[in-house]
Amino acid sequence: MANDFDSRYCRFSRRVEKGIMALIVISVIMLACGELLIEFEPVRAFFVETHWLEGVPGRP
User: Among the residues of the chain, which ranges form H helices?
Assistant: 2-38, 41-47, 49-52
Cα–Cα nearest to 51, from 60, 59, 40, 19: 40
Give this prediction's pTM. 0.66
Q: What pLDDT is recorded for position 16?
A: 97
Residue ranges of the domains in the chain? 2-52
User: Half-sphere exposure (CA, 13 Å, Cβ side) for 44?
Assistant: 10
Which has more confidence, 24 or 52?
24
**What is the C-alpha to C-alpha distance for residues 60 and 53, in angstroms, rounded to an integer?**
15
pLDDT tens column, 19-51: 999 999 999 999 999 899 888 888 887 777 775
Q: What angle do CA 29, 35, 38 make, to 5 degrees?
A: 140
